[in-house]
Amino acid sequence: MAVRLLFLLFVIILVAFSYISLLNGQHVPFYYSATRQMDISVSELAILAFSLGAAMVILGTLVKDVTAASRNWRERREKQRRDAARARAARAGELVQRGMLMDAVKELTRSLAVNPDDREALDLLAMAHAELGSPSRR
């Protein structure tokens, strides 16, 4: 909604400058190189300056919005990965309780690849390795 209102404001100002250019016929030389010039009306210069300013504001806003969207996407993605790692660790806990230690070790290894600081997963992995290492489980 705000973008539409800004665009409407831009159009209204552009129309106003265009109307002024019809009323003001004064031309000035505009040098775009050392030897080249063109005659342009003062109101056309004002329209050009306003349009360039509006384009810079739009470009700056676009860059800011894209940066914020990218940061939000990365944060959501990281949260999803950590949640999936927690779910994998919980599933591994169930596998340990059922005695499926090799499957639990695989799940815990995958979980710790995403979230290496997960204490619960590290404890479960140590417990699974300890039980796998005992002679009664071989």
pLDDT tops 90 at residue 19: no
* Residue that is last in its domain, among 27, 44, 67: 67
User: What is the structure's pLDDT at 136?
Assistant: 46
- Whether residue 73 lies inside any domain: the answer is no
User: What is the structure's pLDDT at 134?
Assistant: 57
Which of 20-24, 73-77, 91-95 holds the top average pLDDT? 73-77
- Whether residue 36 lies inside any domain: the answer is yes
CB 124 within 8 A of CB 97: no
User: What is the structure's pLDDT at 47?
Assistant: 80
CB 82 within 8 A of CB 49: no
Query: What percentage of the chain reaches a pLDDT higher than 70?
Result: 96
Give the domain range for residue 10.
1-67
Long-range CB contacts (within 8 A, 24+) of 128-135: 128/92, 128/96, 128/101, 128/104, 129/105, 131/96, 131/101, 132/101, 132/102, 132/105
Q: Tell me if the pTM is above 0.95.
A: no
44-48, 60-64, 83-87: which has the minimum mean pLDDT? 44-48
User: What is the structure's pLDDT at 63?
Assistant: 93
Number of domains the chain contains:
2
- Whether residue 37 lies inside any domain: the answer is yes
Residues 52 and 7 both lie in one domain = yes
Residues 4 and 60 both lie in one domain = yes
Neighbours of 114 (CB within 10 A): 17
User: What is the structure's pLDDT at 79?
Assistant: 93
CB 51 within 8 A of CB 14: yes
- Whether residue 111 lies inside any domain: the answer is yes
